[in-house]
Amino acid sequence: MTARGSLRDEIRQTRPFHSTSQEAALGLLRTADVLRRRFAAAVEPSGVTSQQYNVLRILRGAGDAGLPTLEIAERMIERAPGITRLIDRLETAGLVLRERSTKDRRTVICRATAKALVLLASLDAAVDAADDAALGMLSEPVRRQLIRILDSIRAATP
C-alpha cells in the first residue's frame, strides 16, 4: 500500500463511490487483504501457507479427538474448496494423520501430529505479534466495537 489515508486515496479513485455501502464493503475487502498479507508474512517462512496454518490451528484446538474433514472445512477462516488436497499436503509433510472413523467408515478423522504441534508452538509468538500489530493502533473499546460490527455483518450474511 503506497498511500495512507482514505480508501479513495489508496486506490487512486477519482470519482465518488456509488454509495457508502460500496465504500465500506471495498474498505473492508482492502483491509482484509492487508491483514491477510501481514499474517502470511508471519507464517509462510515456516513452510506452511495461511490456509495450512489455519487447518493445523483448528486441529490443535480439537485435541486428541481430531475432527472430520468436512468439519475442518466449516471452521476455516477462509473457505477452502479443496480441503482434501490441503490435508493431503499436510499429511505428506507429516503434519496431519488421517484415519477412517470406526463408527462411520465414510468419515475421515484428522489429527495434528506432534511435529505439527511443535511447528504451531514455534509460530505462536509471531502470530500473536501480527495480530497485535494489525489492530494495535485501535483502543480496546474500539476493537470491541469493531468485533461487534463484524459479527453483525456476518450474522446478516447468508
End-to-end CA distance of the chain: 31
Residue 2 pLDDT: 43
- pLDDT over threshold 70, residue 74: yes
How deeply is 154 buried, as exposed, middle or buried, from its count of CB atoms within 10 A (0-12, 13-18, 19+)? exposed
The domain of 30 spans 17-155
What pLDDT digit, counting tens, does each position of 50-61 carry?
A: 999 999 999 999
Query: Is residue 5 assigned to a domain?
Result: no
For residue 8, which of 34, 16, 31, 35 has the smallest C-alpha distance?
Answer: 16
Query: Residue 97: which CATH number?
Result: 1.10.10.10
The percent of residues above 90 in pLDDT, for the chain, comes to 68
d(CA 4, CA 143): 20
The residue among 138 and 158 whose pLDDT is bigger is: 138
Query: Is residue 7 assigned to a domain?
Result: no
Residue 117 pLDDT: 97
What pLDDT digit, counting tens, does each position of 1-20 carry?
A: 444 678 777 878 878 888 98
Q: Are 117 and 60 in contact (CB under 8 A)?
A: yes
Query: Is residue 80 assigned to a domain?
Result: yes
Query: Is residue 107 assigned to a domain?
Result: yes
Q: What is the mean pLDDT of residues 89-101?
A: 93
Q: What is the mean pLDDT of residues 127-132?
A: 92
Write b or e for each residue in 122-132: b if 16 or more Cβ atoms lie within 10 A of its Cβ, otherwise e.
ebeeeeeebee
Against a cut of 0.95, is the pTM above it? Answer: no
- Position 30, amino acid: R
Residue 4 pLDDT: 62
The residue among 70 and 81 whose pLDDT is bigger is: 70
Q: What is the mean pLDDT of residues 101-107?
A: 75
- Give the number of other CB atoms < 10 A from CB of residue 144: 11
Q: Which residue has the cell 450474511?
A: 157
Query: Is residue 88 assigned to a domain?
Result: yes
Q: What's the total number of domains in the chain? A: 1
Lowest-confidence region among 18-22, 88-92, 103-107: 103-107
Q: Give me the chain's average pLDDT, please.
A: 90
Here the cell at position 38 is: 501481514
Query: Is residue 12 assigned to a domain?
Result: no
For residue 36, which of 21, 61, 54, 56 has the smallest C-alpha distance?
Answer: 54
Q: Sorting pLDDT into bands at 50, 70 and 90, what band is 23?
A: confident
